[in-house]
Amino acid sequence: MTTRACCGSRVAYFETPERTQQTPSSLETLWIIFRKLITDAELGTMFCVLDGLDECDESTLRVLLPRVVSLLTSDALSSAKGTFKLAIVSRDLPGLRGCTTRVRLDPDNDEQVVGDIGLFVCARVAELSRIEGFNDDFRASVQAALLKRAEGTFLW
């Protein structure tokens, strides 16, 4: 059994070898460990970067987003606010609006990025047009759909 004094009591993170194996795939267990770590004053100032929250699959996002919002809005962290700093790097998520300060990174480049995405999509769709049955109408339809769904990113 691996234990660590945390928040004034001893907490078992990994009770058995099987649980140790399952921990990385258990969102619930990872969240419990995360909450204990960020509220442990003995650890000092902690910086956390949550990158790609928008890239989670929908089922994970349904579980994780309310927890993140709760974390940002709860009084439980009021004592840890000076020692816990969180940066979320993500495309806009409706569930986070109002509980975070939004910083747009280099908004002056938006037009250039959209132009680059357009060039990339056109080039890749042109490669697909070599496939039999991939006529101009279908090419235009695929290209329009990809550009619409790109939302200013190269994420597919």
66 alpha carbon, distance to own chain's centre = 13
Q: Based on the domain organization, do 6 and 54 belong to the same domain? A: yes
pLDDT band per the 50, 70, 90 thresholds, residue 49: very high
> Could you tell me what percent of the chain has a pLDDT over 70?
73
Domain annotation covers residue 15: yes
Same domain, 72 and 113: no
In a domain, 155, yes or no: no
Q: Is 101 within a domain? A: no
Say what the pTM is. Answer: 0.55
Same domain for 92 and 121: no
Q: What is the domain extent for residue 43?
A: 2-96
Total count of domains within the chain: 2
CB 71 within 8 A of CB 96: no
What value does the mean pLDDT take over residues 24-35?
A: 81
Tell me, yes or no, whether 103 lies in a domain: no
CA 23 to chain centre: 19
- Rounded Cα distance, 88 and 68, in Å: 10
Judge contact between 72 and 86, C-beta under 8 A.
yes
